[in-house]
Chains A and B, each alone.
Chain A
Amino acid sequence: MGEIAEFSLAVRTFLRAYRWRKIDPVPWEPLEKPLSDCRLALVSSAGFVTPDQSVFDESARGGDVSFRSIPSDFPVADLIDTHRSDSFDHEGMVRDPNLAFPIDRVRELVESRRIHSVSEEHISFMGSITAPRRLVRDTAPEIARRLLEAEVDVALLVPV
């Protein structure tokens, strides 16, 4: 089970004192059509990059708030894990990136007609962001703009 107890004493101490951001008010976009008519995008915080993309910056103060666009047809097995955190076991998602970026599962949803289509691009960033002000102010609106441009209806967000 995902528990704070999994982490080291230093991380646990930090997390217990950390002031989490509270989303208020909570926005709500109701689904206006069946999922079988919707286009889906993935947003993963697992820090995956493609081989031609720069890795995430481990030294960025407060966390690297940049993101990478992952093309929908990119072979999932070739994604590279560049997440900086040593607070979790990376072995599973290195072996099978679908564990945190389930693009093969999403393609299957299209084949079974559970959803209509897959976005041409998906979003990868590194979730170790302790100071999320720029994530909220700059990164998230840019991600939204790109996904709207890709005519995305629904997004599945996957942390690690």
Chain B
Amino acid sequence: MCNQAVSLVAAELERQGIATVAIQLLRDVAERVRPPRALFVPFRHGYPLDLPSDPARQHAVVEAALRLLEISDSQPPVLVDLELPSR
């Protein structure tokens, strides 16, 4: 439900002129709901940035999300899988 809720808010922000990127934990839900820009992360629920108290890991996920904001030549929705080295 969280995945859908943030996606619906993202869509309204986007309509009002704020560019958005939404992290998504369930790929099939992201595909059905279709937020404008989504970063699918392969982490369990409750852990959208993977690891607590690990600033480097969290930063890597946030940075991957920010990069979606810089995509200018694509048609929405944009859904990208996070690619990080495994730990």
Interface residues of A (CB under 8 A from B): 1-4, 6, 20-24, 26-31, 35, 41, 43, 45-46, 63, 85, 87-93, 95-96, 98-100, 102, 104-106, 108-109, 114-115, 123, 125, 127-130, 132, 135-136, 139-141, 143-145, 147-148, 152-160
Q: Identify whether the interface residues of B are mostly helix, strand, loop, or mixed.
A: mixed
- A147, B13: Cβ atoms under 8 Å? yes
Q: Which residues of A contact B22 (CB under 8 A)?
A: 156-159
Partner of B47, one of A28, A99, A136: A99
Within 8 A of A (CB), among B58-80: 58-59, 62-63, 65-66, 69-70, 72, 76-77
4 nearest A-B pairs in the assembled complex, by CB-CB distance = A127-B2, A2-B25, A140-B12, A159-B2
Q: Which residues of B contact A140 (CB under 8 A)?
A: 8-9, 11-13
Complex CA distance for A63 and B50, rounded to whole angstroms:
26
Complex CA distance for A145 and B69, rounded to whole angstroms:
21
- B5, A105: Cβ atoms under 8 Å? no
- A35, B70: Cβ atoms under 8 Å? yes
Interface residues of B (CB under 8 A from A): 1-26, 28-29, 32-36, 41-53, 55, 58-59, 62-63, 65-66, 69-70, 72, 76-77
- A105, B58: Cβ atoms under 8 Å? yes
Closest Cβ–Cβ distance, residue B69 to chain A (whole Å): 5
Excluding A157-B7, A157-B20, A159-B3, 14 further A-B contacts by CB distance (< 8 Å) are A21-B8, A26-B11, A29-B14, A45-B2, A85-B1, A92-B47, A93-B52, A125-B9, A127-B6, A140-B11, A148-B17, A153-B18, A158-B22, A160-B25
Closest Cβ–Cβ distance, residue A157 to chain B (whole Å): 4
Sample 11 A-B pairs with CB under 8 A, ordered by A number. A1-B42, A2-B26, A23-B7, A98-B55, A102-B58, A106-B62, A127-B2, A129-B4, A144-B13, A148-B17, A155-B19
- A20, B33: Cβ atoms under 8 Å? yes
Query: If A26-B77, A144-B18 touch, does A127 touch B1 (CB 8 Å cutoff)?
Result: yes
- B49, A1: Cβ atoms under 8 Å? no
Q: Which residues of B contact A31 (CB under 8 A)?
A: 19, 69-70, 72
Closest Cβ–Cβ distance, residue A50 to chain B (whole Å): 20
- B9, A28: Cβ atoms under 8 Å? no
Complex CA distance for A2 and B48, rounded to whole angstroms:
9
Query: If A88-B46, A100-B48, A105-B62 touch, does A27 touch B36 (CB 8 Å cutoff)?
Result: yes
